[in-house]
Amino acid sequence: MKKNHAEEKKKLEDKKRILEEEMAAFERRKLLAEQAKQGNFTMKKKK
């Protein structure tokens, strides 16, 4: 019983971590889109 509970908890923690990473990535994309819309976004060229 305890082993099953620990496995479920680990799965939930993994899903939570993945979701938090996706939310952070979304916030970055949103910020970049807002900057581009305002004309403040500059693409850095690779040399």
Give the pTM. Answer: 0.63
Could you give the CA distance from residue 6 to residue 19 in angstroms, rounded to a whole number?
A: 20
Q: Give the mean pLDDT of the chain.
A: 88
Does residue 46 lie within any of the structural domains?
no
Q: In which domain, by residue range, is 15 found?
A: 1-41
pLDDT the model gives residue 2: 81
The residue count of the chain comes to: 47
- Which position has the higher pLDDT, 42 or 4? 4
Instruction: Give, in order, the Cα–Cα distances in Å from 10 to each of 1, 7, 21, 24, 25.
Output: 14, 5, 17, 21, 23
Domain count, the chain: 1
Does residue 47 lie within any of the structural domains?
no
